[in-house]
Structure 1
């Protein structure tokens, strides 16, 4: 169904990158706040990233509090807009799919094509900005670990490998407890590099498992990439490694300055002389390297230290899967142990 009447009113721009522009918006009918990501489909790589995100989020049949929810997807051509759904057979949608598959524009370039993603509005920024603007907190660390573990288990249960987990791609929705204290909710977002696994290649009747889905395209962000990703042969265990980098950096406030943006970022690394090297790259060159976990004394108990060592193992088979990880994080959080304050 094609319409020229917009359902959403843009309020203000809240983010911009090479991939697209994000706005705070309101649903015209209800006034509810949403986030709207506008992606210009002027290049095959933009179309591919947008479709990957659409396919991943629209394949999820239920919602999870710690995974961004795709409320609506609208495909715009010039002044007309068409809602897009998973498995949609419209000619406009099929032109985008063809563009992604062929690596060249397959539609009339005289027309302006845009994809609009309508998602949860997160008013607390990303995990990086949120944590680095506040003092370290044991309560926040514990809460964020549990939320991240739950989100990743949910994604892997739904056969989705994220492939670009990092603090910049984890958003914060601010809220308050019944007592009035801050109670932030994490939302894993940015699924442009994600992969939805299928049963193809598996034995008939064998259930789909992200840990049996082998991928060969090296992608992600250097400081969070597992050793095997650098070589281009990996499974969902690469997400476990990335989460290990994030949690270690969060617990000990390990940061580095991005060379391109000069922005301070949470992330674990290895110091080699005056250079800092991503953990995955360093472990690829020296799989037996002993990581200094913890980097500071008395910042975590033995159970957490052991879990992080396993998550950051050079051998993906030694890492827990997302379901075991979620259970172990819950057990650790339920014990009395000293994070520091």
Structure 2
């Protein structure tokens, strides 16, 4: 990455998305494994997604075991590299910010601009790959629900709305698993659509309530989007809805085939004749629609069933916030061991 003395050695490509390539790499000095995401800044959309991810991850002052950690971000222009910091006065950084704000490239398009994100390396693929290659396991389900709710509570406490929670964006780390049969560690990743809610109003020092921070850009992935996101007026409660879709799909192993990639993905939906419709879209059309939970299993623990229904409520005010959700899942996991998932 650095023309004179590279700090990292890229080993192999492990993933490729619409705006970046992810590599497994090692730190030369320590031989530690890391993930390096290389993003080419050749289009305003790429720059905006990259900066959103950078701003979200660099705004977190502490680490959480279930949220991907950004070790550092390096900005490369042709053969020149520099470490990027949030709020930097570097001309290269400011050109990227201006590109994002204006929606057009403001730097020399003949130069090759790249951002390199150095993050935790997750060796177990994503949540889809991990769960769909194994038989359903109640212990794994419980562990994953607790980890995901903890991650979401942490993000919302740090004023971050993820906006694209889905199994594809939840990575699995098995490196710390041992003979005691511990469950793998989940890490919420891909913050390209995330929004950091900034303080405004009378007291900028007062913590921002993400459930009162309204956003208007409809974004995300159809099958996990809350009804209000489709309308373009929503808060962090949209993340609760997405997590409800994920948990419901995980417990019942509900899947659909992605029309573009042809991959089998975890995600719950509503059937309308021969068609499958995202739950959020169906609720937007009919807010009083009663969701059939469970849809495949014969029964489900009453508390779990009620919680999923509340997470998927058409009215976001009827959904628990991330902190209540975490507490309720802990209670379900540890106080009632009779439910079968």
**Which TM bucket (shorter chain)?**
over 0.9
Q: What is the CA-CA distance between 1:200 and the residue it aligns to?
A: 2.1
For residues 48-100 of structure 1, give each alpha carbon's deviation from its aligned partner in whole angstroms, at most 9, with x where no partner exists. 00000000000000000000000010000111110001211101000000000
Structure-to-structure mapping, 1:271-290, within 5 angstroms: 271-290=271-290
Segment of structure 1 superposing worse, 62-71 or 290-299 = 290-299
Distance 1:293 1:39 in 2: 41
1:232 alignment counterpart: 232
Structure-to-structure mapping, 1:46-85, within 5 angstroms: 46-85=46-85
Is 2:103 the counterpart of 1:103? Answer: yes
Q: What is the CA-CA distance between 1:175 and the residue it aligns to?
A: 3.8
- Kept in 2, the 8 Å contact 1:298–1:338? The answer is no
Distance 2:46 2:202 in 1: 31
Structure-to-structure mapping, 1:196-215, within 5 angstroms: 196-201=196-201, 206-215=206-215
2:91 alignment counterpart: 91
Distance 2:141 2:208 in 1: 33
- What is the TM-score of this pair, normalised by structure 1? 0.97
Distance 2:273 2:147 in 1: 36
1:302 alignment counterpart: 302
2:127 alignment counterpart: 127
Taking a change above 3 Å as real, the CA distance of residues 318 and 87 of structure 1, as seen in their structure-2 partners, is same
1:186 alignment counterpart: 186
Q: What is the CA-CA distance between 1:202 and the residue it aligns to?
A: 6.3
Counting matched residue pairs gives 340
- What is the TM-score of this pair, normalised by structure 2? 0.97
Distance 2:68 2:74 in 1: 17
1:137 alignment counterpart: 137
2:222 alignment counterpart: 222
Distance 2:78 2:293 in 1: 54
1:324 alignment counterpart: 324
Distance 1:326 1:161 in 2: 16
Taking a change above 3 Å as real, the CA distance of residues 176 and 23 of structure 1, as seen in their structure-2 partners, is closer
- Kept in 2, the 8 Å contact 1:176–1:183? The answer is no
- Kept in 2, the 8 Å contact 1:175–1:183? The answer is no
SS at match of 2:139: helix
Q: What is the CA-CA distance between 1:176 and the residue it aligns to?
A: 5.1
- Kept in 1, the 8 Å contact 2:172–2:187? The answer is yes
Structure 2 unaligned spans of 5+: none
1:21 alignment counterpart: 21
Distance 1:22 1:108 in 2: 25
Q: What is the CA-CA distance between 1:295 and the residue it aligns to?
A: 1.2
SS at match of 1:334: helix
CA RMSD of aligned residues (A): 1.5
